Amino acid sequence: MSRTILVTGARRGIGAALAVGLATPGVTLVLHHLAAPDEAEAVAARCRAAGAYARLVEADLSVPAEVLAMAEAAGPVDVLVNNAARASNVWIDELPLAEWEATFAVNVTAPMLLSQALAPGMRARGGGRIINVTSATVRLGGPSGPSYVSSKAALVGLTRSLARALGSDGTTVNAISPGAIRTEGERELAGGRPVDEAAVDAAILARQAVPRRLDPDDLVSTVRFLAGPDSGAVTGQVIEVGGGLVHR
């Protein structure tokens, strides 16, 4: 069955793993990036090697007009994966309003606008799938700052609201909640400071039931299920993929 899948933030990390994991013969992957065509093209090449078609779209998701232009450029989309996120570890005593608003623009407003723009087409084709990538920080708190955690909590609310609104159209809306996934962003959240990777690993493993660090590929099978035909009765859910991560 030919389907079109739009993955935001697909140039690396979780987005790249999900894009490649969803690439099957006949599927078209629309891979969003921002000012990183070479990295995104490398992901597209991996998707093509799996037998899928793949093309790139560029947009600044903090700008609503660019979000809507990307939705139009993507064309009819059957599966929307809202993965792109703005990370923030600015704490409340130093948090400027502009940082709060920029984080919400990318992490909440962009998924809402894409869902709003693409849902009518899904309805016309008998339904679709919307999958939002939230975060275990919603349940656990830190280490990210309040704008990131609050925006991801808002994305959970959007997921559940859209599930109710779009269910009668045959469109399901779910979220995955990654735990401590080893990505490039782990270093970036350190603000450019050196990271003691062994210490980070030890601290995380002490809080996980699964005795190994998780990587983006650990999320792929859950997203494949949510994007596929067997998940038609699953909607409004937040599935945590975190190896049993707990707060400690």
Residue 151 binned pLDDT confidence (cut-offs 50, 70, 90):
very high
Token pair recorded at residue 16: 């790249």
**Residue 247: inside a domain, yes or no?**
no
Structure confidence at residue 147 as a pLDDT band (50, 70, 90): very high
C-beta of residue 16 within 8 angstroms of C-beta of residue 216:
yes
144 close to 89: Cβ distance less than 8 angstroms: yes
The string over 66-84, giving b where at least 16 C-beta atoms fall within 10 Å of a residue's C-beta and e elsewhere, is bbbebbeebeebbbbbbbb
* pLDDT exceeds 90 at position 144: no
Is the pLDDT reported for residue 87 higher than 70?
A: yes
190: pLDDT strictly greater than 80:
no
Total number of domains in the chain = 1
Of 79, 95, 90, 87, give the one whose Cα is nearest residue 132: 79
With respect to residue 156, please indicate whether it lies within any of the assigned structural domains. yes
pLDDT at 44: 98
Flag whether 205 is in a domain: yes
- For the entire predicted model, the pTM comes to 0.95
Q: Sign (positive/negative) of CA torsion 199, 204, 205, 207?
A: positive
- Quick check: is 150 in a domain? yes
pLDDT band at 141, cuts 50/70/90? Answer: confident
The mean per-residue pLDDT over the stretch 102-117 comes to 98
| pLDDT at residue 136 tops 90 | yes
As a whole number, the mean pLDDT across the chain is 94
Q: Span 162-183, mean pLDDT?
A: 96
What pLDDT is attached to residue 5? 98
Residue 88 inside a domain? The answer is yes
Residue 50 belongs to domain spanning: 4-241
Q: What is the model's pLDDT at position 194?
A: 61
CB 203 within 8 A of CB 215: no
As given in the structure block, the two tokens for residue 170 are 């045959």
Give me the mean pLDDT over the 95-122 stretch: 97
Indicate the pLDDT class of residue 103, thresholds 50, 70 and 90.
very high
For residue 67, give the CATH number of its domain. 3.40.50.720
Catalytic status, residue 53: no
Q: Is the pLDDT of residue 189 over 60?
A: no
Which residue intervals of 125-235 are DSSP H helices?
A: 137-140, 146-166, 184-188, 197-205, 220-227
Segment 109-137 shows an average pLDDT of 97
Q: What is the pLDDT, as a whole number, of residue 248?
A: 64
C-alpha to C-alpha distance for 143 and 141, rounded to whole angstroms: 7
Average pLDDT over residues 54-81: 98
Among 109, 148, 152, 175, which one carries the catalytic annotation? 148
246 belongs to a structural domain:
no
CA distance 241 to 224: 13
